[in-house]
Amino acid sequence: AQSVAQPEDQVNVAEGNPLTVKCTYSVSGNPYLFWYVQYPNRGLQFLLKYITGDNLVKGSYGFEAEFNKSQTSFHLKKPSALVSDSALYFCAVIPKRDSGAGSYQLTFGKGTKLSVIP
């Protein structure tokens, strides 16, 4: 069974500083990895996705994530945090399939609340 761990319930960072939100995963075989963001009273929004290739994935709103296969991690990063980045961030995993008619469910982590302090 696949699983995702987000070890920090909350991350606080000062505006303008770099931010990192951590994620580790467990899945059989190779993974597809995702980051989603949830603003208060809203649904989740897709930020970025790792499929294959370059380990550094660039996404929306200046976010990027680094895939590290040996550490089974997919940490979300941004060079300079904005107050408007304050939200709940979810990492998610699904096993990669080369073929087949099956369907896999996306497994989410518990979420990390990011607070950017002005």
Q: How far apart are CA 107 and CA 33, in angstroms?
A: 10
Judge contact between 109 and 101, C-beta under 8 A: no
**Residue 104 binds other proteins (CB under 8 A):** yes
Q: Give 57 or 81: the residue with its C-beta nearer to other proteins.
A: 57
44 bridge partner residues: 38
Q: Which of 29, 40, 102, 118 binds other proteins (CB under 8 A)?
A: 102
Contact partners, residue 118, CB within 8 Å, separation at least 6: 15, 83
We find the least distance from the C-beta atom of residue 63 to other proteins, in angstroms, to be 14
Of 94, 112, 114, 116, which one interacts with other proteins (CB under 8 A)? Answer: 94
28 binds other proteins (CB under 8 A): no
In 40-109, the DSSP E strands lie at: 44-50, 56-58, 64-68, 73-78, 87-95, 107-108
Q: How far is the CB of 102 from other proteins (least distance, A)?
A: 7
Binding site for other proteins (CB under 8 A): 32, 34, 36, 41-46, 49, 90, 94, 96-97, 102-111
